[in-house]
Amino acid sequence: MLERAFFERPPPEVARDLLGHRIRHASPKPAELRIVETEAYLGPDDPGSHATRGRDTQAGQLWATPGQAYVYVCYGVHQMLNVVAHEPGSVGAVLIRAGEPVDGIDVMGERRGTTETDEIASGPGRLAEALDVTREAHEGADLLEGSLRFQEGQPVDSDGVAVTGRIGLSEGEDRLLRFVDASSPHVSRPVPPEAMGETPDVEMRKR
DNA sequence: AATAGGATTTCCT
DNA sequence: GGAAATCCTATTC
């Protein structure tokens, strides 16, 4: 299983290295996803991060112990699952954006209202719904030891990881902080061809 | 295929 | 009062 130290590193490193590992919710029935898409959110200097709202808000969880959950509601509708990740004394988290069903496909399909595996958790709101993760139940939960926790999987080697701009932001979109298993069909958006392999250059446009 | 609009919480100005 | 780290449905091309 993943150690605390895994999450005590800069968010972009944690985001990239989480690809291929799994997130599992044991109750009420086992449901497990292989993580195929993540985004890193940094501290108050990152205009795309909730950390800009300050430590005295809900986003103060970004200052919390690495390995804990930060869950918030987006557009009043969708739950977003993040894991707090940062070096000691720093701030940040990683948004778990998409996963490939590996266990409990029936339960997750029922929650999601689909049997297509590439529609079960191909997006952050979908992923939380599939795993039955909510802010009410999981905000602040320790993801190293509760019923909702990470499982060690097969890491994706760097050749298979695509890096792109983050999705859905009004500011900070251009920073290359989205990490995708480029070979996976279970992602929220396809990877633009130029984002493959090597570190990309220049800017990303929307979409 | 592409686009537009609605759902509806939480926090900020 | 309005925007937000989204998703679904309906409508139109």
R_g (Cα) of chain A, nearest Å: 16
In the structure, how far is the CA atom of residue A207 from the C1' atom of nucleotide C12, in angstroms?
22
CA distance linking residue A87 with residue A66, whole number of Å: 8
Say which residue the tokens 């929220």 belong to.
Answer: A188
CB of A75 nearer than 7 A to strand B: yes
- Give the mean pLDDT of A78-93: 97
Query: Cis peptide before A12, with omega less than 30 degrees from 0?
Result: no
pLDDT tens profile A17-35: 999 999 999 989 999 999 9
CB of A100 nearer than 7 A to strand C: no
pLDDT confidence band for A98 (50 / 70 / 90): very high
pLDDT tens profile A161-198: 999 999 988 887 779 999 999 999 999 998 877 777 54
Q: Percentage of chain A with pLDDT > 70?
A: 95
> Which amino acid is it at A204?
M
Six-digit token string for A138: 């999981």
- Give the mean pLDDT of A153-161: 96
pLDDT confidence band for A201 (50 / 70 / 90): very low
CB of A54 nearer than 7 A to strand B: yes
The torsion angles phi and psi of A66, rounded to 5 degrees, stand at -55, 140
pLDDT tens profile A32-78: 999 999 999 999 999 999 999 999 899 999 999 999 999 999 999 99
CA distance linking residue A175 with residue A178, whole number of Å: 8
pLDDT at A193: 77
The torsion angles phi and psi of A15, rounded to 5 degrees, stand at -60, -45
CA-nearest of A87, A95, A82 to A167 is A95
Six-digit token string for A176: 């290359």
pLDDT at A197: 59
CB of A41 nearer than 7 A to strand C: yes
Q: Percentage of chain A with pLDDT > 90?
A: 86
In the structure, how far is the CA atom of residue A96 from the C1' atom of nucleotide C2, in angstroms?
27
Give the side-chain half-sphere CA count within 13 A for A69: 27
> What are the beta bridge partners of residue A48?
none
CB of A76 nearer than 7 A to strand C: yes
| Residues in contact with A170: Cβ distance below 8 Å, sequence separation at least 6, in sequence order | none
Give the DSSP letter string of chain A.
---HHHHSS-HHHHHHHHTT-EEEE-SSS-EEEEEEEEEEE-STT-TTSGGGG-TTSGGGGGGS-TTBEEEEEETTTEEEEEEE---TT---EEEEEEEEEEE-HHHHHHHHT---HHHHSBSHHHHHHHHT--HHHHTT-BTTTSSEEEE---PPPGGGEEEE--SS-SSSTTS--EEEETT-S-SSSPPPGGGSSSPP-S-----
In the structure, how far is the CA atom of residue A94 from the C1' atom of nucleotide B2, in angstroms?
31
